[in-house]
């Protein structure tokens, strides 16, 4: 989307949000945008995504803190020779439009020469070793709890980046510092999560279906395929989205209590018809222990809840459920026999 067209989008959103604007004026600007899109599918997708994100994701804090974040954007607009508008009346739409513009820029980031600038970015990686949960404060004051066996990478200039981008391997709970002018994006296994400021959990272990659960605020999740994003699925509190690896689809679901998704922060483990292969992986990471079995439990599933208990208590439950025998030798569990119920 070129600069002149983006100015038109900005003006359209501003006029649309102004209570004094006439229906004719709104319709005229909207028609100009759709004339620009024409029959070009890519342009139409960009336009519809911009409007959709404004309606479903952009949200301004009530305390007026967005005004400071928007100061530099306003200065740039004042210097640009475009049709005169009364800035004070359309700041809320402008700041939202700036956020959307930043997102659209990011969506097409890998397709432009700008991507070469990444070579100069210095990334920092933090890791939670098996058996450990790490609390990390990012340069922009966002807080992250990293689950055992997970890692997070972020640029050292995150606080001053136009788009705050981090990369997650594993599972983490995020409390993102709100900054409407600088969206926060998490790139993880097959998905991309965009927020303005909220709290949410991402579970994205390699080889398993990643999922995002929202506790507060709003989140936009899209499928990420070689740097190209699908249309976003928008989540509200007590909603989650699961990416189906087989069908490559994002499926949104309602949950009774999103806080259950972050029980791992206090050492709890919740399994709901969870494949045993995934259960063993979770146990291995939490207790920093290796599990060796003489047979496959690929078709078995477990439904159980464990508080922050010793590994022996966990293995007793699994032993009774699947009729297995086990021994623990230092940091290795040996499993014999067993059958699915």
Predicted pLDDT at 7: 63
Helices (H), 18-86: 23-37, 41-56, 66-69, 71-79
Q: Are 15 and 29 in contact (CB under 8 A)?
A: yes
What's the Rg (C-alpha) of the chain? Answer: 24
Place of tokens 């965009």: 194
> Which has the closest alpha carbon to 164: 99, 250, 96, 234?
99
Predicted pLDDT at 315: 95
If DSSP codes are grouped into helix, strand and coil, which group holds residue 160? helix
Predicted pLDDT at 223: 86
CATH 3.55.50.30 residue spans of the chain: 267-337
Predicted pLDDT at 224: 80
CATH architecture, range 117-260: Sandwich (2.60)
Question: Which CATH code fits 267-337?
Answer: 3.55.50.30
Predicted pLDDT at 246: 87
- Give the helix, strand, coil percentages of the chain, each rounded to 5: 35, 30, 30
pLDDT tens for the chain, residues 1 to 341: 455 565 667 677 767 766 677 888 888 888 887 887 777 776 776 676 666 555 554 444 444 443 444 444 444 444 444 444 444 444 455 555 555 555 444 444 443 343 444 457 889 999 999 999 999 999 999 999 999 999 999 998 888 888 899 999 999 999 999 887 788 999 998 899 998 778 999 999 998 899 999 999 989 999 887 666 678 889 999 999 999 988 889 999 999 999 999 999 999 999 999 999 999 999 999 999 999 998 888 889 999 999 999 999 999 999 999 999 999 998 999 999 888 86
Predicted pLDDT at 48: 67
> Which has the closest alpha carbon to 142: 158, 126, 124, 161?
158
Predicted pLDDT at 100: 53
CATH 2.60.120.1440 residue spans of the chain: 117-260
Strand ranges, E, within the chain: 123-127, 134-137, 143-146, 151-155, 164-175, 184-188, 191-195, 199-204, 211-216, 219-225, 228-229, 233-235, 239-244, 249-254, 269-275, 290-293, 301-306, 324-329, 332-337
């Amino acid at each position: 989307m070129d600069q002149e067209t983006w100015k038109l989008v900005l003006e359209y959103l501003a006029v649309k949000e102004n209570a004094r604007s006439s229906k004719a004026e709104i319709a005229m600007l909207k028609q100009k945008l759709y004339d620009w899109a024409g029959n070009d599918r890519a342009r139409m997708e960009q336009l519809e995504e911009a409007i959709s994100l404004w309606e479903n994701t952009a949200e301004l804090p009530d305390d007026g803190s967005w005004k400071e974040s928007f100061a530099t954007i306003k200065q740039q607009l004042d210097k640009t020779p475009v049709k005169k508008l009364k800035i004070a009346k359309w700041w809320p739409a402008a700041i939202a439009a700036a956020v959307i513009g930043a997102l659209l820029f990011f969506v097409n980031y890998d397709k432009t020469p700008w991507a070469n600038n990444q070579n100069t970015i210095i990334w920092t990686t933090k890791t939670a070793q098996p058996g450990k949960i790490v609390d990390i404060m990012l340069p922009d004051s966002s807080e992250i709890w990293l689950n055992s066996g997970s890692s997070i990478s972020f640029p050292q200039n995150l606080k001053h980046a136009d788009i705050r981008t981090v990369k997650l391997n594993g599972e983490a709970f995020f409390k993102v510092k709100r900054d409407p002018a600088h969206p926060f994006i998490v790139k993880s296994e097959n998905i991309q999560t965009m927020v303005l400021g909220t709290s949410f959990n991402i579970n994205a272990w390699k080889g398993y279906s990643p999922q995002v659960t929202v506790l507060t605020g709003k989140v936009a999740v899209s499928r990420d395929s070689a740097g190209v994003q699908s249309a976003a699925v928008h989540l509200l509190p007590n909603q989650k989205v699961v990416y189906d690896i087989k069908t490559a689809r994002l499926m949104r679901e309602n949950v009774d209590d999103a806080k259950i998704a972050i029980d791992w922060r206090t050492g709890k483990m919740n399994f709901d018809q969870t494949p045993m292969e995934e259960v063993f992986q979770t146990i291995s990471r939490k207790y920093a222990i290796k599990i060796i079995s003489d047979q496959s439990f690929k078709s078995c599933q477990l439904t159980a809840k464990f508080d922050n208990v010793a590994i022996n208590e966990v293995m007793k439950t699994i032993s009774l459920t699947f009729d297995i025998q086990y021994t623990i030798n230092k940091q290795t569990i040996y499993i014999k026999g067993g059958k699915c119920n």
